[in-house]
Each structure stands twice: as structure tokens, then as C-alpha cells.
């Protein structure tokens, strides 16, 4: 008996040590908002879900849970800058923007946002904050904070901003893959500084591609796989939360289909699973890591199925395979019908784009295809836009490196001396860097980058994200002649 007891004691101690060691050494390098969401802040209480599969629906608990985590966002644009840029939602948001480019005075716009972590991370639409010089965030309790833009992704119309505050109420992530057509949902926004607005409806459709995320960049590859709902989404609610009856975030409200700019029965939200991936990429890499399959495809239809001799109208038909792309390397062939990705049924091109959009270059993705009537499973290693399986560096970081300079903030005394409100001084130059090539001297004070005021090295990096067509504009002064203003524009290639 003593031997048995000793053996059991030794096993228990060994188990405790092993678990403790694992916890100490496990990899925690990648930041995830989901980790931050494990902080318990608000909850349903004792009753849990307030809806059964065939029972009465009570929205009060979900509304009370979500509304504190939805904010009002105010943006300011100097001399109409940004207001004259292409708005992907066209006339649907003319009222939202209050008329574009009609005044030389600073223009203002507004929208909504969703707090997704207790330390101040907020997700909204890219078109709510794009080109803004100032971002103000007003909480549901009327407190106001300056918002810092962390990153954007025009291809999904998402943006991540942050305010400096702790212990904030937030909206917990749900799972948009589990959303079903006909399910009850709430659309929660914070428009026009009226505090929260809650509307109810059902899921009308999933994976909708409505062709609104286009822009002037020929290399852009937008992902449109919207959740469609008949819950009222009006101008100013853009960037707000679409939640299920448990108060879980399943989408970011993005658009309405309307001829008048007001709600007419159709609203669209970005699936939260796609938003999670974009947000975590911005946090960890400074840019969205897009994985590409490398195929040209057609939507399957009854006509196409008959023409190609297919026995199903589901799936996406591969018209051609890109040379050197991920699909070609894995053995995908022209004529294949992609029916599943990672076990998820593919019914349309929007389904395919959404499922691939959840992955990064270098990720392995399992495809199910029909080839000559036979089902085949193919493992594909996704590639980036340059046809390699490597993660890509953020454009702003690459552009910053190309500048070939180091910057330091100005002291208050230097600001008074140079008669500037903000700025950074060039403290070192790298031979062969862009600034050295353009004969910008050490000591030059940069006051604006791409039209944005800068006060730190991080401000410079953030402003470089607004470079259009690879062009960078620097404005500033030399300390020995502060009354003279200089402006430099030059290309900064990042490929």
C-alpha cells in the first residue's frame, strides 16, 4: 500500500509540475482581441440566453448588454480633405457625410463604432474614418476621448482605432459561421450623438456580394460576403454592431441599399469572423495578411452546370489557374468545381472569398473539389500577392524604412522657438535613403506628413499609411529660418 500511495503522489506532483511549466513557457507572442475579451466585464446574469428554439424572444437583455459598448465617432477633415475622396457607399451615405466638398471650412462626419476590448480597442468602418485629421470617440456615458487610428483595410471596409482608457464595457465576439437565415438579430448604433439606437430584425441572407467596395486602386481585391438583415440600419449607424439575441457580436454594420439615403428594408454587415482576422492582423503585423488561392472562377448556375456536364449547381467553377499560384502548386485544375473549403460548403464566389479571406499566406487550406464527377480533397498552401508563402511587411513600415531617417519629438521650448504647434526633428540620415537623396538635411523639422500633423516617430509611421500611389509629402522648416516653409513630394516604392 505504501508503494501504491508513493506512486500516486509522485504522479500527481509530476502532473502539477508539467502543467505549471507549460503555462510558463507557452507561446504568447501573438496578440488577439479574443484573449482580451476573456476579461469578464459584463454578462447576462443568471438567466443566460433569453430565446429558445421555438419560444418567445426577449431583446431587453441583449440590448442592455451591448449598448454600453457601442460608441459615437466624430471625424474632422481639414479644408474638406478626405470628404472629396471616393466613398464606396455613394449616395447611400450622402446624408451621413452632410454633403461632400462644398466648404473650405473643416468638414465633420460621424458614425458608430464597437468597443471590442476593455483597454479601448474599437472597430468601425474604414469609410467612417478614412482620411480624417482628427477622430473623437464619445462613449455611451457621454465621456469623450481622442481616438488614434491603428490601421485600416479598405478591402473589407474595416478600421481599428484606440482610446486611452481601461475597464471599458465591450461587446463579446460571436461566431458568424453559425448564423442562420431567419435568426433574430439586433442592429445597435450610436448615431448623431443621440446615444444608442437599437433596431430588431432577422438575417435575410448570407455571403452577399453587392459590388460596393470598389476604389481607384487597380490592385485592390475587395472581399464582399455581407450578412444581409432587415433590421433598420440608418446613416450614422455605420460601424455599429449587429448582434444575436445573446448579445454576441456577429457583424459590423456597413451599408444600406437605398435610393434615398434612408433605410428601405435592406442592411448589410461585415461578418465578425472576417473582422476578427483583419483586426488581429493589424495588431500583429501592421497590415492585413491576405492569402490568395490563385484561381479565376465563375459562379455555378443551372446553365453553367448543363454546359459543363456538372451534376450540381452548388460550388464555384475554376475557369483558369494562375501560373505559379497556390492552386497550381497544389494540383487544382481548370474545370474543377470547388464545393467545400475547410469543410464549409461553398455556394458562391462570395463564400469562397470569405473562407480564403480568413487565412494568411503560408496557411494550409483543405479544398474539396469535384473533378470528372469524382470528389477529391486537395491541401493548398496559400500565397501572398507576390506569389510567395511569406507574410508581408506593412506598407507604412516599408515606406518608413525607405525614408532612411530617425526622428525625435520637439520639446516645448523648441516649438515656441520655431513657432510651430507640433513636429519631429530629423536626427540621423542613412546614406542612400530617400531623404538623403532629396538633399533633406539633418536638423530639418517635419511638421506634416501626407497632410497630417506629426509629433512622434509613431505619428510619422501612421501618416505614411495615407500615401497615395506610393507618393509621400513632407512639410516642414529648417530651425535657422523658421519663417520659410518647405514641402517635398517623392515616390517611396515599397515592393
> How is residue 292 annotated by DSSP?
B
Q: Respond yes or no: is residue 320 known to be catalytic.
A: no
Among candidate residues 153, 157, 281, 336, the one labeled active-site is: 157
- Give the H/E segment covering residue 22: helix 2-25
Beta bridge partners of 75: 109, 135
Cα→Cα distances 319→293, 417, 488, Å = 13, 65, 47
Q: Respond yes or no: is residue 238 known to be catalytic.
A: yes
- Give the H/E segment covering residue 12: helix 2-25
Cα→Cα distances 170→42, 165, 231, 336, 366, Å = 8, 12, 21, 44, 34
CA angle, 88 then 91 then 92, to 5°: 80
CA angle, 37 then 41 then 43, to 5°: 100
SS3 142: coil
Q: Respond yes or no: is residue 72 known to be catalytic.
A: no
Give just the sign of the alpha carbon dihedral 107, 97, 189, 195. Answer: positive
Cβ neighbourhood burial of 474 (10 Å; 0-12, 13-18, 19+):
buried
Among candidate residues 238, 258, 396, 467, the one labeled active-site is: 238
Among candidate residues 72, 110, 127, 336, the one labeled active-site is: 127
Rg from Cα positions in the chain: 26
Do residues 429 and 442 touch, judged by C-beta distance below 8 A? Answer: yes
Active site residue ranges: 127, 157, 238
Amino acid at each position: 500500500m505504501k508503494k501504491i500511495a508513493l506512486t500516486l503522489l509522485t504522479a500527481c506532483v509530476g502532473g502539477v509540475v508539467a502543467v505549471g511549466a507549460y503555462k510558463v513557457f507557452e507561446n504568447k507572442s501573438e496578440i488577439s482581441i479574443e484573449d482580451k475579451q476573456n476579461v469578464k466585464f459584463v454578462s447576462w446574469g443568471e438567466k443566460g440566453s433569453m430565446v429558445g428554439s421555438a419560444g418567445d424572444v426577449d431583446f431587453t437583455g441583449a440590448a442592455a448588454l451591448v449598448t454600453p459598448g457601442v460608441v459615437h465617432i466624430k471625424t474632422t477633415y481639414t479644408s474638406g480633405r478626405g470628404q472629396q475622396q471616393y466613398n464606396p457607399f455613394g449616395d447611400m451615405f450622402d446624408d451621413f457625410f452632410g454633403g461632400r466638398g462644398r466648404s473650405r471650412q473643416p468638414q465633420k462626419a460621424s458614425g458608430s463604432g464597437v468597443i471590442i476590448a476593455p483597454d479601448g480597442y474599437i472597430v468601425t468602418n474604414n469609410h467612417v474614418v478614412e482620411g480624417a485629421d482628427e477622430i473623437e470617440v464619445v462613449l455611451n456615458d457621454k465621456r469623450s476621448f481622442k481616438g488614434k487610428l491603428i490601421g485600416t483595410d479598405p478591402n473589407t471596409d474595416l478600421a481599428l482605432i484606440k482610446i486611452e482608457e481601461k475597464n471599458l464595457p465591450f461587446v463579446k465576439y460571436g461566431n458568424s459561421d453559425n448564423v442562420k437565415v431567419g435568426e433574430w438579430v439586433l442592429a445597435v448604433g450610436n448615431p448623431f450623438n443621440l446615444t444608442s439606437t437599437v433596431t430588431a430584425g432577422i438575417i435575410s441572407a448570407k455571403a452577399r456580394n453587392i459590388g460596393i467596395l470598389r476604389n481607384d486602386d487597380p490592385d485592390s481585391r475587395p472581399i464582399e460576403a455581407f450578412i444581409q438583415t432587415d433590421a433598420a440600419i440608418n446613416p450614422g449607424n455605420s460601424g455599429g454592431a449587429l448582434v444575436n439575441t445573446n448579445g454576441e457580436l456577429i457583424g459590423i454594420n456597413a451599408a444600406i441599399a437605398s435610393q434615398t439615403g434612408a433605410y428601405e428594408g435592406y442592411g448589410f454587415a461585415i461578418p465578425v469572423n472576417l473582422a476578427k482576422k483583419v483586426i488581429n492582423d493589424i495588431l500583429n503585423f501592421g497590415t492585413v495578411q491576405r492569402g490568395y488561392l490563385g484561381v479565376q472562377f465563375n459562379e455555378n448556375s443551372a446553365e453553367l452546370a448543363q454546359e459543363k456536364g456538372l451534376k450540381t449547381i452548388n460550388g464555384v467553377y475554376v475557369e483558369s489557374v494562375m501560373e505559379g499560384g497556390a492552386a497550381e502548386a497544389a494540383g487544382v485544375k481548370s474545370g474543377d468545381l470547388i464545393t467545400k473549403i475547410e469543410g464549409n460548403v461553398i455556394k458562391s464566389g462570395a463564400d469562397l472569398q470569405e473562407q480564403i479571406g480568413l487565412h494568411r499566406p503560408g496557411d494550409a487550406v483543405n479544398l474539396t473539389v469535384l473533378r470528372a464527377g469524382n470528389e477529391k480533397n486537395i491541401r493548398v498552401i496559400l500565397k501572398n500577392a507576390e506569389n510567395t508563402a511569406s507574410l508581408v511587411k506593412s506598407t507604412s513600415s516599408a515606406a518608413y524604412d525607405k525614408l532612411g531617417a530617425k526622428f525625435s519629438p520637439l520639446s516645448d521650448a523648441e516649438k515656441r522657438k520655431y513657432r510651430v504647434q507640433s513636429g519631429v526633428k530629423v536626427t540621423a540620415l542613412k546614406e542612400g535613403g530617400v531623404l538623403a537623396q532629396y538633399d533633406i538635411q539633418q536638423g530639418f523639422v517635419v511638421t506634416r506628413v501626407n497632410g497630417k500633423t506629426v509629433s512622434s516617430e509613431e505619428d510619422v509611421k501612421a501618416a505614411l499609411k495615407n500615401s497615395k500611389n506610393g507618393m509621400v509629402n513632407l512639410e516642414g522648416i529648417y530651425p535657422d529660418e523658421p519663417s520659410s516653409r518647405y514641402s517635398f513630394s517623392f515616390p517611396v516604392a515599397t515592393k
